[in-house]
Every structure is written in structure tokens, then in C-alpha cells.
Structure 1
Amino acid sequence: MKTVALAVMDGIQLLDIAAPAEIFGMPGPHPVDPWYEFIVCGLPAARIGGWFQPRAPRGWDEFIAADTVIVPAVRDVDEPPPADLVNAVRAAQERGARVAAISTGAFVLAAAGLLDGRRATTHWPLASTLAARYPRIDVDVAALFVDDGSVLTSAGKTAGMHLCVHIVRTDHGDIVANALARHLVLPPDRSAELSGTDPQDHVLSELLPWVAENLNQPLTVTDLARHANMSTRNLTRRFNALAGITPLQWLLTQRINRAQKLLETTNNSVDHIADQTGMGTAATLRRHFNRAIGVSPDTYRRTFRIRVNQLAG
């Protein structure tokens, strides 16, 4: 089990710790067993949002020992970050931990010297401040998040959610990460589309494009097995070994993923999208979409466009 440790400091905002707590603190919509062990570390007297106090946070020793450590946004970038936090972040990175910062948490990583010679980002209005204060950092003023190996940074609060989903994608693959993004109603990461196959598995690698070309057809698991020239039992075994789900679950995920893209990029009616994704009827699409994503197709389209506009602004 991978341990994710979240640092808490006095005065940080509750929203800045919500994304890591939601994503790493509970199983995703397609549970992976084991999921993450999520711990909160910091000073016992730390108050979040001016009123919330975490119950018995762990100490810095456990923070340093974690596989991934996350630093949320700091309250004021003009104040020096707490020395114990800076030292803990540096020690965690030296021990081999993956270190991630959300928004202005990048200033803590910079103070620890972790961003020297690296590409990084932070809350966009403060990117120039970070660059001026730490000239050895290659500050990207437009990235939602930056993955520079073992050190990751993100822009604002919503971008922090994208960063956390990216970490899940790195650890558990596209299927789990995309299901999580849909559950959170996040615009998906187009740099890592759903694959569901291992590139070295030639049978499934050839099956994927065929499914994509025929997704508007009422395909069944039997159709997939016939095209792959194997029995349904062998196909199911192969999918479980590589993706951790059944072929039917994978096929449904493909249909939902296609529906999301069409909702995001077209004004097609739900009836038309149901036909394009092989769902047959709008009622079937709505039932499966709501079960997988938690909202209706129409709500998803509206929410997606609102969030894209917020990110663009």
C-alpha cells in the first residue's frame, strides 16, 4: 500500500486539503485493493480555515517516511514557511519520496531547494513572484500542473485536483484515473487517454482500435472474443490480468468515455450520442452515465463547460 502524507499548517484553507483527502483518503469509483493509506501530518495545534482542527495529526517522522508527500497552498507567500515543514519536505525527498505541491505550496518546495533546476508551476497570479524570488526555477506560467519526475507542482485549487488524479494515473493507470476524473466531474486529461491494454499485449492492442471504430454498434463480449480469436473465458482472464476489470466493464467504460467526449465537444442531443456510443436509447445512456459519473449527461455537459471557462479565466 502506498502511503500519502498531507502536511497541515496553521492558517491554510480547508478547500486546499479537500482534493487530496477526497482522492487519496477513500477508494475510487473502481476500487483498487489496496488503495492508499492517507495520513495527515503536522502540528497538533494547527487550525484549518480558522476553525477546523484535525484530530491528532501524525508527526513529521511519519511524513518523511511516506511514499508521497503533499504540501497544500500556504497562507501568505511573503511569510517564510515553517522551518520544520521545509526540513521535513527536504528529508522526505532525500529519502526517495514523491513530493507534490498544490498551488502556493510550491513556495515551500522552493524554500527547501527542491525546485532548483526544475520546471514548476504555482498559482498563476504568483508565478512571477516565484520566478523572481527563485531564479533557478523554470517557472511555467500557464501549466495546470508539472510533473518533473519525483517533484510535482500545480496551479490553483482546481489544478490541484488534476494533479492528484495524475498521481493516481501514474500509480494505477488510465482506467482507474479516468473513472476517478469522471466521478469528480473533471475535464479529463487528454494527454493520457483511456487505453485499457498493455502495449505488449498484441491481441488487446489490436482489439482497442477495432472497438473504437465500431463503438456505435451493439457490441457484446462474445463479439470482442470472436474478433480477438479467443474464447470469452480467455478474454475475461486477459482483461482481469491487465486491467483488473471484466471485458463488459471495459466496454461500458469505453462507451461512457466516448459519451463524455461528445458531450464536451459537440452540441449533439443525448439521443444522438446514445446512438453514437452504441447505447441504443437516451434512457439507457442516462442510466449508465448517471451510475458511472454520478450526474446526468446534461448536467455533466453544463458543469464541464463551466469548469473549462473557469480554468481559461
Structure 2
Amino acid sequence: MTTVALAVTDGMLHFELSLAYEVFGSAPAGTPGPWYDVTVCGPSAVRVGRFRLEPDRGLDHLRRVDTVIVPGWADVDQPPPTELVDAVRAAHQAGARVASLCTGAFVLAAAGLLDGLRATTHWAHTEDLAARHPQVIVDPGVLYVDNGSVLTSAGKAAAMDLCLHLVRLDHGSSVANAVARRLVVPPHRDGGQAQYVTTPVPAPDHHPLADLFPWVLRRLDQPLTVEDLARQARMSSRNLGRHFKAATGTTPLQWLLTQRIRHAQELLETTGEGIDTIAAATGMGTATTLRRHFNRTVGVPPDTYRRTFRARADSIPHVSEQHHRETDTC
């Protein structure tokens, strides 16, 4: 993911645009290998906040890059420009990874990229996003959501969290941490477990899997299989897979692994239990298995995670992911 395009038109928020350019525009000292080639794409000169900006290339260039960043959209009461929506959709169809910052999610939703997926935006606008695009599973309580090729962030400072997450995916935790140090920001924010693990939320009550999610979460210490989940849901394994994909954007086994990792994080943060005990409580079996999956998913070993978050949890009130809210505004 070496080429990054910032998609702009009149009405973009300058904070998110500047933040993304700062993260992707220059490599931290000592970074091995190539860094990002950043381009600003828009239709001729545009007005971003109170500034006039001359883009490097037109919006059609979005189809030629690896990653497209859509900054916050100022007037969410108005539909985003059709030319921007079409260009973002075409870029995704061409294989680009597309990420929105703050209210840029309205652009992605208008392009149809969030249909059937979990997404977020600034908490002050989540109800508007859900009402305008009912096919989007809007989660107002997380800093950002990673659906693979489509990512969305909450408001303002959460844009930094998502940009650092993208750097971490592309270059690893040490490089992302170096970027964070250069910008004098934490590489991970307190209370934001979604910064580490993408956790699809249970579907609405009317969904066929509505009763299955809590059933699984009560049995994370048990060796569950796809057949076990299908039997509990009273459907075939193939049908279960289709419903899981539609509801969470992932497979039953990947969703289950994500829940085990998330539970391990909670135990590491809130208890002094040993790694072997936590491995058993999360259905991982052995400490070796837990460490392998945890390190691959979170980016740090369980012991490092515990030292970081237990120290912080001992000094400040614990805020769960489910009740975490951004307090800044667009």
C-alpha cells in the first residue's frame, strides 16, 4: 500500500485533511523500505474550510492508487458531490482500500461501500448516518472500524487513530509507534479496544443470528466449531456462513477468534490471572496458542499489552468500549 490519495472537493474539513497528510506525507527517521507516495486529488481548485487548495490531480486518479482517504465532510445535511461519490466508488471497484475520516463516512455510504457493513462516524452524526443509510450497521461507540478494504473513523482525533492503524497494518507496530512519537500522540488511546481488534457487533433482534451471538459469548472457554454454531442456530453450515458474512462482514471462525482475543484483552486489563489461565478461559487452550494469535491480531504480546493497559487502568477509571464516546466535535 505505497500510494495514497486524499480525495477533496469543496466543503471538506481541513483538520482531517491536514492530519492525514501529516501521517502519510513523511516517513519517520530510520524507516526501512519505501514510504507512501501521497497525492491530493480533486476537481480543479477547491475550498477546504477557509483555505483554497490546488489538488495535484483530478478525481479520476483515485482509480490508480492503493489507498484513498476521504476527509470529513462539513455539511452532512447536504448530499456529498456526485463526482466525489462516483470517483470513490470507482476507486474501490478498481481495488483501492478506502478509508473515511469523521463524516467522510457519508461519502462512502452514498457510494454504497458500507452496505451491510459495520461503520462509524462522529457520534453527533451517527443517527443521521443510520437514518439516511439504513443498510449500514452504524456503531457509535468505537474509534474506528476496519472492514478490510473499507474503513471508517469517528470524529476528529479518531482520524489519527485510524491513520496510525493503517500505518501499523502496512509497516508494523514499531513504525506506527515512531510516527506517533513524532506527532506527540499515543499510538493507542485508552478505552479504545477497537483500535486493536475489529469486533463485529450482534445484529438487530430480528436477525436470524440474534440469539446465537450471546450464546457464543457465554461459551468462549469451550472448543466451538462451525458445526456447533450452525446446530445452535438451526441452519446448515453454508447458510450460517452466508448470514455471518452479511451481519459481520467476516466468517464464523474469524468472528469467534476475534471474540476470544477481545475477551483475553479484558482479562489482561482487569485481572492478574496467568497467561495459561487466560488461554483456558478464552478457549485458546495453551499459552503458546494465545500468544501466537494475540500477537498477530493485536500487534504486541499479551504481557506487553498487560503492562501497558493495567498500568493505565490502575490510575484512571476504566471506560469500556461499549460506552466509549468521542468528546470532540466536527
Give me the TM-score of the superposition, normalised by structure 1: 0.61
The DSSP-based 3-state class of the residue aligned with 2:115 is: coil
Identity of aligned pairs, percent? 52
After the TM superposition, which of the residue ranges 5-14 and 52-61 deviates more from structure 2? 52-61
Alignment of 1:214-293 (within 5 A): 264=312
Alignment of 1:57-72 (within 5 A): 57-72=56-71
Residue 20 (structure 1) aligns with: 20
Distance apart, 1:147 and its partner CA? 0.2
Partner Cα separation in structure 2 for residue 262 and residue 178 of structure 1: 19
Tell whether 2:141 aligns with 1:152: no
Alignment of 1:204-215 (within 5 A): none
Residue 141 (structure 1) aligns with: 140
Q: What's the Cα RMSD here?
A: 2.8
Tell whether 2:72 aligns with 1:73: yes
Give me the TM-score of the superposition, normalised by structure 2: 0.58
In structure 2, relative to structure 1, the CA distance for the partners of 1:183 and 1:263 (3 Å cut) is farther
User: Any conservation in 2 of the 1:29–1:183 contact (CA below 8 Å)?
Assistant: no
Distance apart, 1:10 and its partner CA? 1.1
Partner Cα separation in structure 2 for residue 57 and residue 160 of structure 1: 22
Partner Cα separation in structure 2 for residue 12 and residue 46 of structure 1: 9
Structure 1: tracts of 5 or more residues without a match: 194-255, 268-308
User: Any conservation in 1 of the 2:113–2:150 contact (CA below 8 Å)?
Assistant: yes
Q: Report Cα offsets for 1:48-78 as digits up to 9, x if no partner.
A: 122x222343112212211000111111111
Structure 2: tracts of 5 or more residues without a match: 198-303, 316-323
Residue 201 (structure 1) aligns with: none
Q: Which amino acid aligns with 2:170?
A: D
Distance apart, 1:184 and its partner CA? 2.4
In structure 2, relative to structure 1, the CA distance for the partners of 1:33 and 1:55 (3 Å cut) is farther
Larger Rg: 1
Partner Cα separation in structure 2 for residue 170 and residue 163 of structure 1: 10
Residue 110 (structure 2) aligns with: 111
In structure 2, relative to structure 1, the CA distance for the partners of 1:22 and 1:262 (3 Å cut) is farther
Residue 90 (structure 2) aligns with: 91
In structure 2, relative to structure 1, the CA distance for the partners of 1:142 and 1:257 (3 Å cut) is closer
Q: Report Cα offsets for 1:124-177 as digits up to 9, x if no partner.
A: 111011111111111111010000110000001100010000000110111111
Partner Cα separation in structure 1 for residue 29 and residue 314 of structure 2: 26
In structure 2, relative to structure 1, the CA distance for the partners of 1:138 and 1:34 (3 Å cut) is same
Alignment of 1:168-179 (within 5 A): 168-179=167-178
In structure 2, relative to structure 1, the CA distance for the partners of 1:168 and 1:137 (3 Å cut) is same
Q: Which amino acid aligns with 1:83?
A: T
Q: Which amino acid aligns with 2:102?
A: S
Distance apart, 1:185 and its partner CA? 2.9
Residue 43 (structure 2) aligns with: 43
The DSSP-based 3-state class of the residue aligned with 2:98 is: strand
Partner Cα separation in structure 2 for residue 62 and residue 34 of structure 1: 21
In structure 2, relative to structure 1, the CA distance for the partners of 1:56 and 1:8 (3 Å cut) is closer
Q: Which amino acid aligns with 1:55?
A: E
Q: Which amino acid aligns with 2:176?
A: A
In structure 2, relative to structure 1, the CA distance for the partners of 1:19 and 1:261 (3 Å cut) is same
Ranked by relative contact order (alpha carbons within 8 Å, sequence separation 6 or more), the top structure is: 2
Q: Report Cα offsets for 1:78-105 as digits up to 9, x if no partner.
A: 1111111100010011011000000110
Q: Which amino acid aligns with 2:98?
A: V
Q: Report Cα offsets for 1:268-307 as digits up to 9, x if no partner.
A: xxxxxxxxxxxxxxxxxxxxxxxxxxxxxxxxxxxxxxxx
In structure 2, relative to structure 1, the CA distance for the partners of 1:20 and 1:110 (3 Å cut) is same
In structure 2, relative to structure 1, the CA distance for the partners of 1:311 and 1:104 (3 Å cut) is closer
Residue 279 (structure 2) aligns with: none
Partner Cα separation in structure 1 for residue 182 and residue 326 of structure 2: 19
Partner Cα separation in structure 2 for residue 131 and residue 143 of structure 1: 15
The DSSP-based 3-state class of the residue aligned with 1:100 is: strand
Residue 245 (structure 2) aligns with: none
The DSSP-based 3-state class of the residue aligned with 1:47 is: strand
Partner Cα separation in structure 1 for residue 196 and residue 140 of structure 2: 22
